[in-house]
Structure 1
Amino acid sequence: MNVVIYDGDCGFCQYWIRWLLKHDSNERLLFADQYSAFFQSLPVRTADSVMLIAGRHSYTKSDAVIEILAAIGCRKLAFAGRLVPKVLRDALYEIIAKYRHRLAPKSCEIMPDAYKKRFIG
């Protein structure tokens, strides 16, 4: 099971979750926001970062983004991301994370019913 943990109060994060839902045609990803009971039950926690729980592994920051892209079939993009040194990838991630609330509206449109089954609480 691959579960993407994200900030449910962030319009930027919600935009990218919608993008993932549209591009994950094989439905390899499930989603939970960081305020969910699922996330609160995890022994591993992170703040201000997307997180991917993939089996027994967990990934954060740019590693999570790369693994998420690989999971939905964007292998070339994931490969290119791995070529960039982690310290640079994470620095870019931190800049985007710092300004993410300014990059998109605070609220998002209602999630279509077809996608609701992909969210766990």
Structure 2
Amino acid sequence: MKKFIRGFGYAFSGLAHAAKTQLNFRVHLVAALISVYTGYALHIAANEWLWIGFCIALVLMAELLNTALEFLTDLVSPEYNKMAGHVKDMGAAAVVIAALFALVAGAVIFLPKILLLIHAA
């Protein structure tokens, strides 16, 4: 049980390290907070909260995995290597795909509600 609990400490340490050292991770955290605030302000439905939560988790996980991939690539290939560059580029592409999906999902959920508020005013 002690080992199991210690594993959570390692996970939170990884989150803290990413938040302290990775600008893109902090940008995604701010976007997540804005999304949560917007969802609260617009009184979105439970199923919409699930989609927002899924998108936030997806983007943050993609960013964490990309960061881990970059660290590992730098560790095994400290000098420039074309293939190492491709690995990093593909990791970044995964983040872009997740972020674009989140953007589209957010637009589908939030835009109709925002437009309704604008037209009601």
Same fold (TM over 0.5): no
The normalised TM-score by structure 2 is 0.28
* More RCO (CA 8 Å, sep 6+): 1
TM-score by length of structure 1 reads: 0.28
Structure with a larger share of its residues in helix: 2
Structure index of larger Rg: 2
